[in-house]
Structure 1
């Protein structure tokens, strides 16, 4: 009797199975647009993305100018872009992405963890960061993570960014009413802690035995109560208030 994978699909590269409720299936891989001015780095990243059946590289570009043209020409889910390009930087493309492909996610890559640059990239809408010195397969993992509603960032850089946010927004935090965090229900705090730990909405729902849509409804209520607009801002607020 043939073995059935049930709610999972089989892949030739790790992981050997992949839940069918996550983005990145064999018949519908996460589409990636890669922009980097180093041909060798582009080749390395391209090979990794194409070796993973969950991701599909749809186009490449080597400059800001080429990147803008390629963003307009191709449908994609995640932009993987080098912070420093020969004719500019990723910030120009992140600005352009908002209007040209508002549903697409962005992951920035760089040799150095430059706090100022990465902070600005996240403020412009990026949801992931990967170091070019990171271990093999981090590129496809970062793409899959942001495509499924998560954020990809190194723990070291996350701590630095949270510390920076704490310093920059301490006065704003003091102006807020002292019981903001207490307005969250027990379930909302539980979901916020799980999101802060890197779980996607689908993963949170699976663990709490509720639907991903219900999780997203809770998240919208959390945003409203904390007066924030994104997951990253909610996680930062939770961190400052010691909720996780």
Structure 2
């Protein structure tokens, strides 16, 4: 009788979860909340983009990645894109304090299937279970960001595209600035950009400051998002 019950009941392995947060104390807090659930197991943690990417290249089986959208100074959107290429079946849950539209949209485009804000009412354990059940846990503020993006691109009347001579000069990116912005969008570091384009690190920094000023942004993520919306990104790097 006991043997038949064992055969008839499916034994489900706990969900293997990897955590990426700004410091180890935050990783531990998240882990403590999750390990109260018997159906979840912490498979590892990281506090930097480099650590996270290295862990994702290992063969260990993972079900869910919980990560912030920023780890230190690193914008995680390009990193998440690369991780999804490595692990297409991995569910990514963003757990962050960043609710601004550019962060939300870039994370979702990079492959995140859930986005909840720290301090909101959403329970982390419930969100992970919803994610693995095929749902997409999203905080109300985040849902509004997504709707704004959809409305602005789909329903808002599109103004006529100005001719090149009508475009304000301060919004035009030079060929070099476009090349640098394209490399930024791929998640390449400032020093690597300098090597690729055979220019100094200081020259790269100067170009990036000009890009930020022209696009009226203050970070890599915002610059790439704005440039994408304006159709300014180049598909190739010139010589």
The TM-score bracket by the shorter chain reads 0.5 to 0.7
Provide the residue aligned with 1:34 in structure 2: 19
Answering whether residue 49 of structure 2 is matched by residue 69 of structure 1, we say: no
Query: Residues 18 and 66 of structure 2 are in contact (CA less than 8 Å); yes or no, is this contact kept in structure 1?
Result: yes
Provide the residue aligned with 1:89 in structure 2: 75
Which residue of 126, 150, 157 maps to 1:141?
A: 126
Return the offset for 1:103: 0.5
Deviation sequence 1:181-234 (CA, Å, 0-9, x none): xxxxxxxxxxxxxxxxxxxxxxxxxxxxxxxxxxxxxxxxxxxxxxxxxxxxxx
Unaligned residue ranges in structure 2 (runs of 5+):
1-8, 158-239
Runs of 4+ in 1 over 4 A off after TM superposition: none
Which residue of 97, 108, 111 maps to 1:125?
A: 111
Distance 2:156 2:101 in 1: 21
Instruction: Look up the SS of the partner of 2:35 in the other structure.
Output: helix
Normalised by the length of structure 1, the TM-score is 0.56
Deviation sequence 1:90-146 (CA, Å, 0-9, x none): 2132112122111111011211312210111111111111212234x7222221111
Instruction: Look up the SS of the partner of 2:42 in the other structure.
Output: strand
Query: Residues 90 and 108 of structure 1 are in contact (CA less than 8 Å); yes or no, is this contact kept in structure 2?
Result: no
Instruction: Look up the SS of the partner of 1:59 in the other structure.
Output: strand
Instruction: Look up the SS of the partner of 1:57 in the other structure.
Output: strand
Query: Residues 63 and 87 of structure 1 are in contact (CA less than 8 Å); yes or no, is this contact kept in structure 2?
Result: no
Distance 1:83 1:156 in 2: 16
After superposition, where does 1:41-56 map in structure 2 within 5 Å?
41-56=26-41
After superposition, where does 1:176-195 map in structure 2 within 5 Å?
none
Return the offset for 1:171: 6.7
Distance 1:126 1:99 in 2: 13
Provide the residue aligned with 1:195 in structure 2: none
Asked which structure has the greater CA Rg, the reply is 2
Corresponding pairs, count: 149
Q: CA RMSD, aligned part only?
A: 2.3
